[in-house]
Amino acid sequence: GGRGIGGGGGGPMGLWDVGMACLRRHMTAGGSDSSADADAMDVDAEDAKPAAVDASSTVLSTLIRHTVSSFLLELDSLEVDASLVRNCVRVLSDLDASLEFLTELSGGAAAYFHREGQGWSLDGNGADGDGPGNGKRGGRLTDLSAYLKRVDGRLRQVNGMASYYLAGTASSASLASLPGLTGQSPVKGGAAGAGGSVSHSRLLSSIVETYLLAPHFTEVGALHPAALHPLLDDESRVVPDCRRLYQLGRRVEGGLDRLRGAFGRYGRERGLAIVRMRPASAGAGAGATPGAAGKQDNRSVIPSLLRLKSHLEDLHRRAFGNDEHFGRTLRSVLEDVANAGPGEKGQSPSVSGQQGGDGGRLVAELLAKHVDLRFKNARAAASASSGSVGALSADPTAGLSTAADDAALFQSSVLSLFRHLHSKDVFEAFYKRDLAKRLLLGRSSSVDDERAFVSELKAECGGGYTAKMEGMFKDVELSRDVMGNYAAYLNSGKMAGAGGSSGEPVKPPPPSEDAAAANGTEMDVQVLTTGYWPVYPTHPSLILPPSLEFHRSRFETYYKSKHQGRRVAWQHALGNCVVRARFPKIGGGNSPRELVVSLCQALVLLCFNDDGDNGEGYTILNVMRKTGLEDRGEAERVLQSLSLGRDGTRVLTKMDRNGPNDASTSSSASSVPSKSKKPRKIRRSVSDHDTFNYNTSFTSSNRRIRITNITLRATPADNAKTHASVARDRLYLVDAAVVRIMKARKTLDHRGLMAETMNQLKFPATAGDIKKRIESLIEREYVERDANDRNRYNYLA
Amino acid sequence: MFADISDDDDPHVAGMEGISKFCEDLGIDPLEDIRILVLLWKMGANDKPAQINKLEWQQGCEKLQADSIEKFRKILPSLDTGFLDRTEFKDFFKFCFQFNRQGTHRTLDKDLIIALLQMVLKGRVADERLNTFSDFLGQSKDETYSRITLDQWTSFLDFCYEVEDIADYDEATSAWPVLIDEYVEYMEKLQR
């Protein structure tokens, strides 16, 4: 029964309690059956009527009901008398009716939010197939962003209501048993006290979470790719939407784990789409590859990846609060993406026949190319890949960054991707190849930047990785010194520095002979140390014109005398020249042009100082003979570059002939009138009978004309060769590792050998790869299978 | 007797021509009858492939107590491989590979291997295993299997002994040669 009168001692509180008890009794009295006296719980069985019938019409119950209604009205954003409601709540608390009140409140709220949350579908598959781009449609929310805002709004609202109205209520235990709250406690943080009890301040918000948040914060709801990915893509929605997503996720049991999983899937999907060069999905934003539909080409892969990376990092920092777990997921995504292969479709032509994951060979190659483009032409490349600067600008109001900032930023972005690569050896091979070309052709925009980059690589991978590259830089510097000394030697007429030990110093020829032989030419020499530089095709039988031959032999004599015992091999494939040429149509033949060409091209051009047989020009075979160029493929490429190249480079004409005396079509400049017959297209390929000649109609407004020799550009075949050589080197490395391990262990079981070998290798190798090498080593008798144990190997000394 | 079969240009060595003649005298087919291989193995013709030298011959004759064609004919029945236990057969099996090499080559051509397997292992190893493996080799387009190594050869026999049921095969941890792994894959694909 209720509280008895008297009992707990006199004093003001006692009176208060008594008064309250009386009041309460009165308020709960009445109703259709007057025999219901709240005190008299000892009702006879036959008299007993269900208390509910009475309770619904007592004053107390009415008060409770109306108070709850006010709450619900306020949830509907209707006007309520806030202070009145507040007082009612206080009264109920004083009347010791909090529990009843909160029970009914939570029941009402649960029903309310249950209704609100029903039918929300966030997977973008609305009944009429509407996408997630829709906002609210007649009570149904199909837009994730709107959904988040709505839930967030509700939570704010009920928190406000709770703190204003419910703060005065005595906090009671065991609210967890209230209707509307599911058996488990769905909340994280904010639950007061131990063991499933819910503080009154959390009461309403936990109901909101239960009905509006938890059912939808799943992979088929808010976290479904169709709803989630467009939101994550949008750079402008990182804050507040994505942040809201994270904060709401924290309120749901397992919510953050699910969100993290969805984030990982998002990153991987976008990243793999970039690497595999699939067309971007329509409407994708910064997270996806730009330029909507249509295939990407190789050059956009790295900039897109860097953009994606920086976007993911932005999400991590600003939306996910630098959450450590999310950070780990991010790194794992980057690693997977960086090491994914081209997959089955959209295979890059430069990766020879790799299916599926290729251990990062493709990305390694493309990253090296990205660096090459940048170092070849810093200004142009920087503007093209400015997306990689993106959200990382420290201070957007700082204005234009300096070139040094740019370079540093570029470097750190490349390295951040480089670190994830499993196939760093592939990067090295391509990077080295291109570095050599840049250094030799003087195409590097900044040697300082190049050296800085190499020292970063060294810090990352150790000296062995960068030894050859550093050797190349040294060679370039040394060459400058050599040329300096050589010039001094020529000027002074005696040897500079320590001479050779052959006894006689070599005397330079007297100046007058110089001038005649040199014929106005000058020569600059780069000395390359074998081993540092890639191997290039040599043309040993090339016939240099007298002027060049003069320079060549004079330098060679000098160099050999200074460095006794060194072998010198001229790399004519790398030589380049500036050839002065006059054309009748340019300044009447008095305004010479400078043609920047390779050595081979120059030698071929010199052939055409006369007109050949009867002014008919020369065939490819003639040219090969005159220049001593024995490689027919190279000869073709050279002739093509001089006669069929871009406009303004066709200094030679090509006349297709099918036989020795057949006159077909000519590739002369378009100024030749073509009224008579329809000009037939000039064949690209060079037959033995085609003739080439000096192009009398050549014009150009440029003083200096660069004619690229196609050979020097990396073809897909070259790239395939580089990949193949890395693959070969890997085989040797596996062999060396296995032999090293077996030599140390003498005998080892199969599993142990596999594990230790994989440990030692710095690149990805499959068990099958290693097994094949073991078999090869068995065949070569470095190792044997144990006679008694098939699973064991023994080292053979 | 050795003089009858020795090479024209080297009296200390009997090559395939001489050995064939010897087979004719014995009344066996040198290309199809495995017993000549067994005989050469028992006589210890290990020095070089496709030949037996005079010393080996003499020692062999002594070991087998045979010094005439009639005596050799008498021991023909004992040359059935069925008489060899596992260890002996392993050794003989290895000899079959080694003896059939050409010159200084260390490997055998795939087609020869297939024929040799059939000849040597018939009856010794389950027909199904032998035939499916031969099929597998025959249909493989892998360049690396155009020639077979000694290790692959001897491993196959061990494999037949140790792994009777392919279902027991664990590719992930197997120390068997990759050739065997791929054979198992091939069989699994067939069964699907």
Q: Label each residue of B68-128 as H, E or C.
A: CHHHHHHHHHHHCHHHCCHHHHHHHHHHHHHHCCCCCCCCEEHHHHHHHHHHHHECCECHH
CA dihedral A132, A135, A140, A145 (to 10 degrees): 70
**What's the rounded Cα separation, in Å, for the pair A468 and A471?**
5
* Stronger pLDDT, A356 or A432, i.e. the higher one: A432
Task: Tell whether A747 is within 8 A of chain B (Cβ).
Answer: no
Token pair for residue A236? 């402008």
To which H or E segment does residue A624 belong?
A: helix A620-627
Report the chain A residue with the minimal C-alpha distance to residue B145.
A772
- B6: CB partners within 8 A, 6+ apart: B12, B13, B14, B18, B54
Name the burial class of residue B92, with classes exposed (0-12), middle (13-18) and buried (19+) by CB atoms within 10 angstroms of its CB: middle
- pLDDT recorded at residue A679: 58
Q: Which residue has the higher pLDDT, A664 or A726?
A: A726
Mutation test of the interface with chain B: which of A747, A785, A786, A792, choosing the one with the most B Cβ atoms within 10 A?
A: A785
Residue of A751, A775, A791 lying closest to B177 (CB–CB): A775
Q: A794 forms bridges with which residues in the sheet?
A: A747, A784
What is the Cα gyration radius of chain A? 42
Over residues A153-161, mean pLDDT: 90
> Which one has a higher pLDDT value, B102 or A341?
B102
Amino acid A389: pLDDT: 41
Q: Do B149 and A779 touch (CB under 8 A)?
A: yes
What's the confidence (pLDDT) of residue A181?
52
- Interchain contact B71–A (C-beta under 8 A): no
Are A631 and A537 in contact by the 8 Å Cβ rule? The answer is: yes
Closest approach of chain B CAs to the CA of A753, in angstroms? 10
Compute the mean pLDDT over every residue in chain A, rounded to the nearest whole number.
78
H helix runs in A186-300, sequence order: 200-208, 225-233, 243-249, 255-275
CA dist., res. B69 & res. B20, Å (int): 14
Measured distance between the N- and C-terminal CA atoms of chain B, rounded to whole angstroms: 58
Nearest CA in chain A to B107: A779
Q: Which residues contact A5 (CB under 8 A, 6 or more apart)?
A: A18, A21
> Pairing between strand A704-706 and A593-598?
parallel
Contact, A558 vs A591, CB < 8 A? Answer: no
Name beta bridge partners: A593: A581
The pLDDT, as a whole number, for residue A55 is 52
Dmax of chain A from CA atoms?
141
C-alpha torsion A529→A533→A539→A542, nearest 10: -50
Asked if the C-beta of B149 comes within 8 angstroms of chain A's C-beta atoms, the answer is: yes
Q: Reduced to 3 states, what is the DSSP secondary structure of residue B187?
A: helix
| Chain A residue nearest residue B149, CA to CA | A779
Return the top range by mean pLDDT from A139-153, A188-202, A458-472, A580-594. Answer: A458-472
Contacts of B153 in chain A (CB under 8 A): none
Contact A404, A382 (CB under 8 A): no
Does the structure show a pLDDT above 80 at A674? no
pLDDT tens digit string along A69-79? 888 888 888 88
Q: Does residue A135 contact residue A126 with C-beta atoms inside 8 Å?
A: no
Measured distance CA(A414)–CA(A310) in Å, rounded: 12
Provide the token pair at A245.
Answer: 């997503």
Token pair listed for A580: 């002065």
**Looking at chain A from residue 763 to 792, which residues have their Cβ under 8 Å from any Cβ of chain B?**
767-768, 771-772, 775, 778-779, 785, 790-791
Whether chain A has a CB inside 8 Å of the CB on B105: the answer is no
More confident residue, A39 or A122: A122
CB contact under 8 A, B181 and A768: yes
Q: Nearest C-alpha of chain B: how many angstroms from A737?
A: 18
> How many beta carbons lie within 10 A of that of residue A319, not counting itself?
23
Determine which of A585-594, A647-656, B1-10 has the lowest per-residue pLDDT on average: B1-10
What are the tens digits of pLDDT across the range A250-273?
988 889 999 999 999 999 999 999
User: Which residue stretches of A644-766 are H helix?
Assistant: 716-745, 750-760
Per-residue pLDDT of A464-490, as tens digits, reads 899 999 999 999 999 999 999 998 888
Whether residue A500 has pLDDT greater than 60: no
Confidence of residue A295 (pLDDT cuts 50, 70, 90): very low
Interface test with A, best of B108, B154, B174 (most A CBs within 10 A): B174
A629: which 2 tokens?
């160029």
Mean pLDDT of A42-69: 64
ipTM value for the complex:
0.91
Compare CB distances from A750 to B106, B175, B181 and report the shortest one's residue.
B175
Partners of residue B162 in chain A, C-beta under 8 Å: 790
Which residues from chain A sit within 8 angstroms of residue B175, using beta carbons? 750, 771, 785, 790-791
CA dist A421 and A419 (Å) reads 6
| Token couple for A436 | 């050599």
pLDDT at A304: 92
Residues of B in contact with A790 (CB under 8 A): 158, 162, 175-176
Residues in A touching B151 (Cβ below 8 Å): 775, 778-779, 785
Give chain B positions within 8 Å (CB) of A751.
Answer: 173
Mean pLDDT score, A742-757: 95
Q: Please, are residues A271 and A308 in contact by the beta-carbon 8 Å criterion?
A: yes
How far is it, in rounded angstroms, from Cα A604 to Cα A773?
48
Tracing tokens 């990062």 back to the chain, one arrives at: A360
- Which residue of A750, A768, A778 is in closest CB contact with B151? A778
Coil, helix or strand for A40? coil
- A contact test, residue of B173, B180, B183, B184 with most A CBs within 10 A: B173
The tokens for A188 are 């994280």
Chain B CA closest to residue A766: B172
d(CA A227, CA A265): 13
Determine contact: B180 vs chain A, CB below 8 A. no
Query: How many Å apart are CA A656 and CA A683, to the nearest integer?
Result: 7
Among A196-200, A310-314, A499-503, A777-781, the minimum mean pLDDT is found in A499-503
Pick the closest to residue A412 from A379, A360, A444, A457 (CA basis): A457
Highest mean pLDDT among A165-174, A227-236, A310-319: A310-319
Q: Do A775 and B149 touch (CB under 8 A)?
A: yes
Instruction: List the one residue out of B169, B175, B164, B68 whose CA is nearest residue B125.
Output: B164
- The pLDDT-based confidence of A24 (bands split at 50, 70, 90) is confident
pLDDT at A764 over 80: yes
- Cα A161 from Cα A109, distance rounded (Å): 12
- Give CA–CA dist B78/A787, Å, rounded: 28
Q: B28 with B18: CB under 8 angstroms?
A: no
Q: Which of B157, B178, B182 should one mutate to test binding to chain A, selecting the residue with the greatest count of A CBs within 10 A?
A: B178
Average pLDDT over residues A509-525: 71
Neighbours of A72 (CB within 10 A): 15
Least CB–CB distance from A790: residue in B149, B172, B175:
B175
Do A771 and B178 make contact, defined as CB atoms within 8 angstroms? yes
A135 versus A63: which is more confidently predicted?
A: A63
Give how far Cα B47 sits from Cα of A148, A478, A787, B20, B72, Å: 84, 59, 22, 19, 22
pLDDT band at residue A119 under the 50/70/90 scheme: low
The kind and range of the H/E element at A784 are strand A783-785
What's the pLDDT at A288? 47
Q: B150 and A779: CB-CB below 8 Å? A: yes
Task: Check the CA dihedral A290-A295-A299-A301 and report its sign.
Answer: positive
Give percent above pLDDT 70 in chain A: 74
* Residues listed for chain A: 797
Of the candidates A750, A772, A779, which has its C-beta nearest B178's C-beta?
A: A772
CB count in 10 Å sphere of residue B90: 15
Q: Do A775 and B152 touch (CB under 8 A)?
A: yes
Collect all residues of chain B within an 8 Å Cβ-Cβ radius of residue A750.
173-175
Cα separation, A763 vs A429, in Å, equals: 14
User: How many contacts (CB atoms, under 8 Å) link A and B?
Assistant: 32
CB A340 within 8 A of CB A275: yes
Give me the pLDDT at residue A473, please: 93
CA distance A778 to chain B (A): 7
Q: How far off is chain A from B5, nearest CA to CA, in Å? A: 34
d(CA A368, CA A350): 13
Say if residues B2 and B61 touch (Cβ distance below 8 Å): no
Chain B CA closest to residue A750: B175
B151 contact A CB<8A: yes
What residues of chain B score a pLDDT lower than 70? Answer: none
CA angle A711, A569, A500 (to 5 degrees): 150
pLDDT confidence of residue A432: 92
* B109/A contact by beta carbon, under 8 A: no
Amino acid at A120: W
Give the residue from A375, A465, A476, A468 showing the smallest Cα distance to A421.
A465
